[in-house]
């Protein structure tokens, strides 16, 4: 365990004592949207380590104690941890199936028992969440394009900012359909299911790991990217028919 995570675990045990049930690191293989960030506004990858802590109870005093430690956690390269009482966590799976599904699929238990034992994200909840995310993503791209005035530099920012959420959405769809989780497999699955030209999905997924692209590349990618998202909305909308 990296020293920063070991230090976080000790800090949480100092604060919660026996009330701390488990500490989990997530996003170890890929970047995923944070439940509090909103999928279609996710930004390019950052190096911070993301963690989830499950506790018996969470009081205002606990939050004050954690708040005092946050600067040190950030200084050690840690994102602010998600801290949830166990009963809230169990009841949040249907509200955040998209985000917690990604955590369940990509996590390491650092201490305590696994909070996911006996739990599963309902496929129906995840399908509904995927449809909401897909429709939101499409609206975001169209609105974003209008706000750029069609300028290449603005398109470059729009594409890079939206790429991580697009990649996360396709990963969830691939997982739902049992297609695998590595980026190459996810890209091929999406291009086949959406019937889009080879390469566009992998191009955008690649951009989920970069911080900028040229205006020329953005102008080349955007029309096909928008078409792929439009096809994605049609695809997820038809799930109830299959």
- State pLDDT tens for residues 71-110: 999 999 999 999 999 999 888 877 788 778 778 878 899 9
The string of pLDDT tens digits covering residues 192-242 is 888 887 788 888 888 888 889 999 999 999 999 999 999 999 998 887 645
Q: What is the pTM of this model?
A: 0.66
* Residue-wise DSSP of the chain: --HHHHHHHHHHHHHHGGGEEEEEEE-SSS----TTT-GGG--S----BEEEEEES---HHHHHHHHHHHHHHHHTTBPPPEEEEHHHHHHHTTTSHHHHHHHHHSEEEEEES-TTTT----HHHHHHHHHHHHHHHHHHHHHHHHHHTT-HHHHHHHHHHHHHHHHHHHHHHHHHTT--SSHHHHHHHHHHHHT--TTHHHHHHHHTT-S---HHHHHHHHHHHHHHHHHHHHHHHTGGG-
pLDDT in the model for residue 147 = 95
């Amino acid at each position: 365990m990296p020293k920063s995570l070991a230090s976080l675990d000790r800090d949480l045990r100092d604060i919660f004592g026996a009330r701390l049930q488990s500490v989990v690191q997530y996003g170890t293989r890929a970047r995923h949207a944070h439940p509090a960030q909103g999928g279609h506004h996710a930004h390019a990858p950052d190096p911070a380590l993301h963690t989830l802590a499950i506790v018996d109870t969470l009081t205002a005093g606990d939050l004050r104690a954690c708040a005092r430690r946050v600067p040190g956690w950030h200084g050690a390269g840690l994102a602010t941890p998600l801290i949830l009482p166990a009963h809230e966590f169990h009841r949040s799976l249907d509200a955040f199936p998209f985000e917690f599904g990604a955590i369940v699929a990509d996590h390491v238990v650092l201490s305590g028992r696994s909070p996911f034992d006996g739990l599963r994200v309902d496929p129906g909840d995840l399908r509904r969440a995927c449809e909401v995310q897909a429709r939101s993503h499409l609206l975001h791209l169209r609105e974003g394009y209008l706000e750029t005035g069609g300028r290449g530099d603005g398109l470059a920012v729009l594409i890079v900012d939206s790429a991580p959420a697009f990649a996360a959405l396709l990963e969830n769809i691939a997982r739902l359909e049992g297609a695998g989780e590595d980026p190459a497999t996810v890209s091929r699955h999406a291009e086949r299911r959406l019937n889009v030209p080879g390469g566009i999905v992998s191009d955008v997924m690649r951009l989920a790991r970069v911080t900028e692209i040229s205006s020329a590349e953005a102008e080349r990618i955007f029309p096909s990217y928008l078409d792929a998202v439009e096809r994605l909305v049609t695809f997820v909308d038809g799930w109830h028919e299959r």
